Chain A
Amino acid sequence: MADQKDIERPTPHGEPPRDWAGALGSDAETPRLASVAEDVGFMGSALYEKGKTIHNKRIDGPFRRFKWLVMLVTLAIYYVTPWIRWDRGPYAPDQAVLIDLANRRFYMFDIEIWPHEFYFVAGMLIMAGIGLFLVTSAVGRAWCGYACPQTVWTDVFQHVDRFFDGDRNARIRLDKAPWTASKIARRTAKWAVYAAIAFWTGGAWIMYFADAPTLTVDFWTGNAAPVAYATVAILTGTTFWLGGFMREQVCIYMCPWPRIQTAMLDEKSLIVTYKDWRGEQRGSLKKAAKNPDQYGDCIDCNMCVAVCPTGVDIREGQQIGCITCGLCIDACDKVMKEVGRPRGLIDYATLDQCKAEAAGAPATPAWKALLRPRIFIYFGVWGAIGAGLLFALGTRTHTDLTVSPDRNPPFMLLKDGSVRNAYTLRLRNMEARPRDMEVALMGLPQGAVMWTDAVAREDAAPTQVIAVPANETKVVRAYVMLPPGIDEDDSLAFTFRLTSLDEQRETDLAETTFAMPEDDE
């Protein structure tokens, strides 16, 4: 292809369309006449391929508008969330979403996760994983097409390109133009905006890990932790590089997810497809007007290729570069409307639906593809984990007691012949306020008393009240004493009972043993 023609009317890779069934490997292959001579790159062979910048054309349509919506919502969530305040009283931070690594707490609105509850995070990660399976089997690579950060930021940077350099053809021209002062100025301005967006992205990330307003001040006055600056630097760099320059290369070569999804798609998965039985033989309107019988609906305008953010030709069939964003559907529908042919030459459909349609069956609505066992099973598993997590979250107590008895010495004989055992008690107060908690002995013989490292032995009693600071685990060394004269050689099983002395009256029990001296007579 001549360069001039390339600019005006981009060509796909110049091959006839892939057969539907061929994609599934059943029917005979169409002989193809590909030419690789164009791609000759490094060292005169095609061992390495020179990067080709994708200059995707602007398009409007339902999918583009949906993409806008998802982009704005996800970016808004990302940038705004750390700045939402959430009053938790004087003993806890007032940031709605905060991953407090230093104090090992994770705050999310009304939910506070402690390290021992990390299974909530693990559960959410499992849900995210199964959620991706669910979405993939339901609507194909919707994650890749709309919500993946790489997609969202690539989209942002492509809009920046458009703002500075114009639409597709203008950008292609500028790319090929010599480095004049004006081009240098444009590129500098554009890359400065890239850098600003990248910096803002990196800067927003660290706000999740500390009080956002304080950290912002600290950051600009040079008082933030070195790790904060390093994180911002790294994320600024990766956003600038991956979003500004690597773009679709990330999806095609770096990301494992497309490869995994390849294994998860089948004939019943919704994908973006070109209905070749309707579109072939491709031909311009002029050609088609001469020989209407020989040509299909595709007028070979290449709009679907021009608008594609990863630069693929969807007419070749499902492929690793297709992120299923639907922009080619918008483009094709628009063209079909202009030439007066029905929409949906490129559309969301399953391979099975296409096969049926090609065989003459009426078109099935795309949503029917959602009604299949696999999706219900994924949804069931996903929902069950979610329900389990919610149940655990709703029923968890904010009080916990663990007891570890002293092993050496296991018991202690005192002057008056009474026997003392020592225990380390850990009283956990997960409320964001200090609470008094009562520790009581249950199941020991009459006369058993306890005291702690903070309560003198003179004040020993069957129960003790311990003040536990807000949001803390208080470690207390407790002594339990049995009066002399209890004739028992074995150790005694008993229970510590913890009760919060507030309106909640939360309790927790901890079983342990009381060791007795062996009879030496």
Chain B
Amino acid sequence: MVNKRIDQPTGTETVGHEWDGIEELNTPLPRWWLWTFYATIAWALVYVVLYPAWPLIDKATAGTLGWSSRGDLAREMSAAEAARQGVFKQIAATDIEALGNNPELMAQAIAGGAAAFKVNCVQCHGAGAAGSAGYPNLNDDDWIWGGTLSEIEYTITHGIRWEGADATRANYMPAFAGVIEGAQVDAVTGHVLSLSGKAKPNPAGAQLFADNCAACHGASGEGMVAMGAPALNDAIWLFGGTAADVKKQILAPRHGVMPAWNERLDPVTIKMLAAYVHSRGGGQQAAPVALEAATTGDVAQTPKAETDG
């Protein structure tokens, strides 16, 4: 059968077999090609020994190097963890009101806080920190317990009306059901709504307000941060701003509860959370004296000084 011959047009020898008139040319490959092929076989043999290769019933052969992609992940995760430690230490050592002096550190604290917020806070305050009825909005400029960095940090640390936490923020508005009668309730409601221009002035309600409410909520309904008494003269209503909502709150007030997060989170995370909440657009600056003390030194570093200058 083997009948090698020279193919006429190409001048190349055939392999010597013929299938129904079809022949194959024997064009020689360069020999280094053959050695390359052997080299890949050798490579594969070494690879099979060093790395996971043969599939078994429930796993694969491990390979003598012990390499695994899971191990790679663990290594990278711990490397990232270690890389973060420096920043965490720096945040831990910085007073929270002084964080703003170091914009880079502040940015990292905000980023860390944003991550922690998604895990711990969005359940009540919402993914955009906009809250809902009964759960305060953290983006606005209305702060029941204060909106400076340190006040926010305190609130997160000790919670609100959190049982078992001694330092927790707590207040209880008395229920006025039974204390004031139907028409009086309407009058006070009318006065409260008039404070923010939502209703006409109500002199009877004003008197009742002065007697029963002004002690905490202030003579003109401006609220009192020290006691956690909400301002009533603004556009923001925690439990709703209609007459029915206000009346309901006067007769049988609801009181929100927030956990004391120092039971679950470390101080650095709480600090970062405070920085994030403060950065949402409504954060307040600490009292001028404290701020001045905190920012002397490297004012030039802060972007604020740059743009203002």
Contacts and interface: CB of A to CB of B under 8 A. Distances in A.
Interface of A: 15, 29, 31-34, 36, 39, 41-42, 45-51, 246, 249, 253, 406-409, 412-417, 420, 422, 452-457, 459, 464-467, 477, 479, 484, 520
B28 A46 contact: yes
> Which secondary structure dominates chain A's binding surface?
loop
A420 B280 CA distance: 12
B236 A415 contact: yes
Interface residues of B, number: 41
Contacts of B235: 413-417, 484
Contacts of B308: 455, 459
A47 B26 contact: yes
Given A32-B6, A34-B12, A467-B303, A415 B142 contact: yes
A299 to B, nearest CB: 24
Contacts of B234: 415-417
Contacts of B242: 520
Name the residue in B11, B129, B236 with the highest tally of chain A Cβ atoms < 10 Å from its Cβ: B11
Given A416-B235, A420-B281, A51 B31 contact: yes
B14 to A, nearest CB: 10
B114 to A, nearest CB: 12
Interface string B166-201: 000000000000000000000000000000100000
B307 A454 contact: yes
A41 to B, nearest CB: 6
Nearest to A465: B307
Interface of B: 6, 8-9, 11-13, 26, 28-34, 126-130, 137, 139-142, 196, 231, 234-236, 241-242, 279, 281-282, 285, 302-304, 306-308
Given A414-B235, A457-B141, 17 more contacts: A33-B6, A34-B11, A41-B31, A42-B31, A47-B26, A48-B31, A409-B129, A412-B137, A412-B139, A413-B140, A413-B235, A414-B140, A414-B236, A415-B235, A416-B234, A420-B281, A459-B308
A455 B28 contact: no
Contact of A50 (B9, B11, B31): B31
A417 B28 CA distance: 87
17 contacts: A39-B28, A42-B34, A45-B26, A253-B30, A409-B129, A409-B130, A412-B137, A415-B142, A415-B231, A417-B196, A420-B140, A422-B281, A454-B302, A454-B303, A455-B307, A467-B306, A484-B235
B281 A479 contact: yes
A409 B303 contact: no
B26 A46 contact: yes
A460 to B, nearest CB: 12
A12 to B, nearest CB: 12
**Which 4 A-B pairs give the minimum distances between C-beta atoms?**
A408-B128, A34-B11, A409-B130, A415-B234
A479 B140 CA distance: 12
